[in-house]
Structure 1
Amino acid sequence: NHGTNFVTWLKGGVISHRIIINDAKARVHTVDSTAFLVSPDIFKRYALEHPAIEH
């Protein structure tokens, strides 16, 4: 499932600091324990890191 795989990748990236949050150029921002994703950039990055996904 692409959605589940994306969320797993996103969580892992945030935990490992591969995905930066709350920075001027970040693709993920948090406010009041809620994550906001910069679209479509975060999805493009996921696709680039997973070239086997059919576009």
Structure 2
Amino acid sequence: MDFAELAEDIAHEAEQALFLARQIKQIDERVANLYADADRPASLPLLPAWGR
């Protein structure tokens, strides 16, 4: 087993995971901002199971 190669693979996977986590956080923030700007009181009662 080549431990140097394994370490590189693990480092690469960790970088990808961190990158994806940052992207998810940015998307969550964008969605939250859009949701806050939406007319929730008027639109939520129209959606089934929302507005209860």
Query: TM-score range with shorter-chain normalisation?
Result: 0.3 to 0.5
What's the TM-score, normalizing by structure 2?
A: 0.34
Higher relative contact order (CA 8 A, sep 6+): 1
Higher normalized helix content (fraction of residues): 2
What's the TM-score, normalizing by structure 1?
A: 0.32
Structure with higher Rg: it is: 2
Higher normalized strand content (fraction of residues): 1
